[in-house]
A and B are shown apart, each in its own frame.
Chain A
Amino acid sequence: MKTDIIQKLKEANLKGRGGAGFPTYLKWESVLKNNSSKKYIICNAAEGELDLAKDKYILENYFDEVISGIKIALETIDNSSAYIYLNKKYSSLVDKKIIEGLDITIIEEDTGYIGGEESSAINFIEGKNPEPRKRPPFVSEKGLFDMPTLVNNVETFYYISKINKGEYSNERFYMIVGEKIKGGVYELKDEMSIREILKLTNNYLEIPFYVQVGGGAVGEIMIEKEFDNLVSGEGFIRVISYEEDPYLLMEKWAEFLINGNCDKCTACREGTYRILEMIKTRKLDLKVLEEMFLTLEKTSFCALGKSIPTPFRSLINKVILND
């Protein structure tokens, strides 16, 4: 049974759907092979990215599948207990009856963006500040209460259940948003191009537009000539017409990030604030921006801080400066 599900996950080539895209079977293997007396499973349902609500959709429609994914993990990993680390806003979507009798505890959180990062989640469950931890050690070796911990996202658990039943054929969920489109959450094949996805879902605008892909705040901006790229990171596409004010979008990102970060690192806390300040003046000083970007990328402690330059730099270069 144990090697069975690992083998299935491996064959299905399932990658974590929390955004990092790490092969799921490797995480499982790592937790399994550790011979610790206690292990933990966390279903990450914090979904804190800007405008992203695909896990919400899954919880609304397939909560039982998610639970059966967690159940498989509980059965596979000896002496394990599970937590659902749940965004408070999704509280009502969870049917507590389904988890009755199972070793699953729901922890509600309202920690914002950074609280959704897996090691922040662990800190929060332990009653500490939701701040990222340093790696190594990886949480699969030393996670919750210092025990090996498997952290998978809602969507990942959903597909684990599907894979176990032999019902998976390479799908994933995409969330598409935009002022000028209908948008929504769609379950489509993995590894589709931006263009295919937008066309298939009727979200391809007639007027010129560009997109943000992979995350509502830190996703990269892509323009028409890149529409044949695959969607990487989170299954998220924002459709933005050239009629919209790109500065407003940048303000929205910056405000979201300032509000959602943990404020530990100077560059992330103060640098992002100065970026917002500059955007508000509508006068971009590219030299100063690059200085902030470099410092964010190089000296932020966690992946969030390091990825902050991505949306701004790509929007400014590809759309505002248009080169």
Chain B
Amino acid sequence: MINITIDGKKIIADEKKSILETARENDIKIPSLCFHSDNSPKEGCGLCVVEIEGRKGLFTSCGTYPEEGMVIKTKTPEILKVRKTNLELMFSQHAEKCNDCVWSNRCRMLNLAKAWGLHINRWEDRKKNYPQYDFNKVITFDSSKCINCSNCIETCHKQGIDFLEVKKEGGFHIVVPSSEKNKDCVYCGQCVTHCPSGSFSGVDPSLKIEEAIKNNKYVVFQFAPAIRTSIGEEFGLEYGSVVIEKMIAGIKKLGAKKVFDVSVGADIVTIEEANELIERLTKKEKLPMFTSCCPAWVKFVEFYKPELIPNLTEVRSPHIVLGQIIKTYFAEKEHIDPKDVVVVSVMPCISKKYEIQRNELKGSVDYVLTTHELSRMFLKNDIDIKSIEGEKKDELLGFASGAGVIFGSSGGVAESATRTACFKLLNKKLDKIDFKEFRGEEEIKEAVIEIGEIKIRIAVVNGLLNARKIIENHLHDFDYIEVMSCPHGCVGGGGQPVPTSKEIRRKRAAGLYEIDKDEKIRIADENPIVQNIYKEFLTDKNIIQKICYTKFSKKEKEN
């Protein structure tokens, strides 16, 4: 620890934290744009510059570290002046397409421009004719909004994908999708949540959903585990706030007939996946078994590591299973023609948009809406979930166990499956429900679970580069491996609100574990709704196979 002074305030600082972070922790505001706490400092936008006494020039505080005795100023007239010029220059390249931007009213560029009274159209946008790319109708990359910060490049690289790359054209460096045959997008959407200028976004189906509602279709919404602790952010609530009933009321107000909880699907997936795991363990085949509820991970395997396809669990992902159940079991119960049912999944995820286009799964779910896109629909329809009166979930497919809820965090699937496996193998109530060894934001977690005679070696991984490391170096050290593409799992998903950071993801996950802790039923098998479905509908192998299982195949480059 060292002593420094920032704007006259004496501070005891940690040399390992940048001046920017140190200032922020001490309530001294420094604007920044290209800095993302998940990435290395880019030091490019030039907004965070500060003055250091005794040194010539200004320094980017995001990449400069405090030294003993440093005296730093963050707001001299010169600093304020050059920050403004830099921001105007960023607007001079960035095409302002604010109406449908993922940053909505939280855009730091626009908010700073307003606060500083800038002229955002001082120059004609240099990039106005830059191309827009469409990645398989899942992600749009509008390069006319790019401000050259290269966070997307680092993010894509950290996933081990390197699909986004920098090319030099006409004297400028531009971000482009790779044309190399062995590189393809897996749709994790981390570029979306790490771009400060809204250049990436998911392809938004909300107009089609509105259309379906208008045409009197029987529109059913189901929302994923991770949504309930993040949607509040879009309306100014604290990070991690649990919002369920108010969100349901909002969705109902949009015109949905029913609102169900994907966590119910998660409970069914848990049961099936635990079965499959126990079977593979007994037969000692296709091990380790990988989870497959993350479509970006599945695409990664199918494209980059097709030899591992047999290792993926063939159980479908929760929203697909529940979508199927809605269109069969539920429709029949309610006497509705399945053709009239439109299922919309609200997901923290972009790759789910890809998943529903897969041939084997087509028809299960009609549209995938991200957390952010749902909030925009609310906004458009004057729905404020802060003030709206809450409504309960629709009963039939509304109640989930705590296990189904924690699916939204890295380690949640492994923990839920472990609970069920223990329950099944031991055939009795468990004394241990919490498997904390799977929780937390660490990128790779390991544990050996002993259930009676059986030992299961489990790894929980988030981030695709980490998955690659495990595959390439430790594949046979494990029996069961949970992989989620996004940091901290779905709470850090590509469809979640921006901004994102370790701290924010931690709070979203904590919210989910809170729900689980307070839930009376915390094992999938004990969920009465699920028990009922197995009693009334999923009664034999064939129907279970049809509703709950899928196949994978090697993928060629799609983008």
Contact = CB atoms under 8 A, between A and B. Distances in A.
Contacts of A264: 42-44, 148, 150
A306 interface: yes
B46 A269 contact: no
Contacts of B401: none
Highest count of chain B CB atoms <10 Å: which of A258, A274, A299, A306:
A299
A306 B85 contact: no
Contact of B89 (A255, A294, A295): A295
Nearest to A255: B171
B57 A297 contact: yes
Given A266-B45, A299-B49, A301-B43, A291 B57 contact: no
B81 A294 contact: yes
B156 interface: no
A129 B167 CA distance: 11
Interface string B9-49: 00000000000000000000000000000000011111001
The number of chain B residues touching the other chain, given as a range, is 20 to 34
Contacts of B82: 267, 294-295, 298-299
Contacts of A259: 171
B86 A263 contact: no
B126 A262 contact: no
B85 A258 contact: no
B63 interface: yes
B442 interface: no
Contacts of B49: 298-299
A96 interface: no
Question: What interface size band does chain A fall in?
Answer: 20 to 34
Interface string A96-132: 0000000000000000000000000000000001000
B52 to A, nearest CB: 12
B93 A270 contact: yes
A265 B42 CA distance: 9
Nearest to B94: A270
B515 interface: no
Contact of A266 (B44, B57, B150, B171): B44
A134 interface: yes
Contacts of A266: 44-46, 86, 89-90, 147-148
Contacts of A269: 93, 148, 172
Contacts of A299: 46, 49, 58, 60, 82, 86
Nearest to A134: B63
Contacts of A246: none
A267 B81 contact: no
A289 to B, nearest CB: 12
Contacts of A297: 57
Contacts of B420: none
A311 B89 CA distance: 21
Interface string B117-140: 000000100100000000000000
Given A266-B44, A266-B45, A295 B92 contact: no
Interface of A: 129, 134, 255, 258-259, 262-267, 269-271, 273-274, 291-292, 294-295, 297-299, 301, 306
Given A270-B92, A299-B46, A301-B60, 13 more contacts: A255-B171, A263-B173, A264-B148, A267-B89, A270-B93, A270-B126, A271-B89, A273-B126, A274-B92, A291-B85, A295-B85, A295-B86, A298-B49
- Minimum-distance CB pairs A-B, first 6: A299-B46, A270-B89, A259-B171, A263-B173, A295-B85, A264-B44
